């Protein structure tokens, strides 16, 4: 328990990455599996994640990320994207996957189908996108929680032009829009914040027990 708290104290939003220090395949796979296991409403996971290593592409993305160095200097850039097409087809694919994974019939999932069809699928398009956008942030939370366990730095970032990312990654054709990005790598010894103490609200201001 204490180890987990110490891991969370270790992490911070790294501003300066060390480009020469690699994130190996096993570490990346651990992070991917952690995100894959994220909680989501009904388990629908209305998002997809792009893991970008290509430097030239990241240079173009940096131009529409207000020049932030993490976009290029980190080992990977994760782009969390939310689905814009949440419909009967999406629901059918989800239920087929559940049927196969749990080795149960589709008929046994009819109650779940009706629950989702009568709630989430009834949202307006704007409501669906807002809902999916929030689900993507839950997945980001799982990434942030997992990374310090293996001493990998993750910098969550909202400072980018979403519409430009959508264009550069051809997201519209995939029924996706960018939500948030995360630079993944290792902190530089020159990062002035690497040894700074965390500044957080005290517990008595943050938590209210009723």
Task: Please report, rounded to a whole number, the percentage of residues in the chain having pLDDT higher than 70.
Answer: 100
pLDDT at 167: 98
**161, 72 in Cβ contact below 8 A?**
no
- The dihedral built from the CA positions of residue 27, 31, 32 and 36, taken in this order, carries a sign that is positive
Is 1 a residue whose pLDDT tops 90? no
For residue 174, the enclosing domain spans: 2-39+46-85+130-202
Q: Let me know whether 35 and 61 are in one domain.
A: yes
| Inter-residue long-range contacts of 90-96, CB under 8 Å, 24+ positions, other chains counted | 90/44, 90/46, 91/116, 91/117, 91/121, 94/42, 94/43, 94/44
Does residue 117 share a domain with residue 15? no
Are 53 and 155 within one domain? yes
The pLDDT tens digits of the residues spanning 165-192 come to 999 999 999 999 999 999 999 999 999 9
Contact 178, 171 (CB under 8 A): yes
CA 130 to chain centre: 15
Rounded to whole angstroms, how far apart are CA atoms 19 and 188?
8
Q: Which of 73, 95, 122 is the last residue of a domain?
A: 122
Question: Does residue 76 sit in the same domain as residue 8?
Answer: yes
State the CATH number of the domain containing residue 183: 3.40.109.10
Mean pLDDT across the stretch 11-21?
Answer: 94
Note the helical H segments in the chain: 2-10, 25-36, 55-63, 70-73, 88-102, 110-117, 125-146, 162-168, 203-206
Residues 18 and 116 both lie in one domain = no
81 & 92 share domain:
no
**Same domain for 166 and 104:** no
One domain, residues 23 and 113? no
56 and 139, same domain (yes or no): yes
Quote the pLDDT of residue 10: 95
CB atoms within 10 A of CB 198: 9
Same domain, 52 and 142: yes
Structure confidence by residue, pLDDT tens digits, 108-129: 999 999 999 999 999 999 999 9
pLDDT tens track for 26-63: 999 999 999 999 999 999 999 999 999 999 999 999 99
Whether residue 209 is contained in a domain is answered as no
Same domain? For 61 and 19 the reply is: yes
One domain, residues 151 and 54: yes
How many distinct structural domains can be found in the chain? 2
């Amino acid at each position: 328990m204490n180890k987990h708290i110490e891991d969370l104290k270790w992490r911070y939003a790294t501003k300066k990455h060390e480009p020469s220090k690699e994130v190996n395949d096993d570490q990346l796979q651990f992070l991917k599996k952690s995100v894959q296991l994220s909680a989501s409403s009904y388990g629908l996971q209305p998002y997809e994640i792009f893991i970008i290593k290509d430097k030239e592409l990241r240079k173009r993305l940096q131009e529409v990320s207000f020049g932030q160095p993490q976009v290029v200097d980190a080992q990977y850039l994760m782009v969390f994207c939310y689905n814009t097409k949440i419909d009967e087809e999406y629901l059918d694919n989800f239920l087929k996957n559940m049927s196969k994974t749990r080795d149960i019939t589709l008929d046994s999932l009819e109650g779940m189908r009706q629950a989702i069809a009568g709630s989430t699928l009834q949202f307006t398009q704007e409501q669906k996108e807002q809902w999916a956008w929030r689900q993507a942030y839950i997945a980001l939370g799982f990434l942030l929680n997992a990374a310090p366990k293996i001493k990998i730095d993750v910098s969550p970032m909202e400072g980018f032009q979403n519409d430009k990312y959508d264009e550069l990654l051809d997201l519209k054709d995939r029924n996706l829009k960018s939500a948030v990005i995360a630079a993944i790598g290792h902190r530089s010894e020159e990062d002035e914040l690497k040894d700074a103490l965390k500044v957080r609200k005290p517990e008595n201001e943050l938590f209210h027990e009723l």
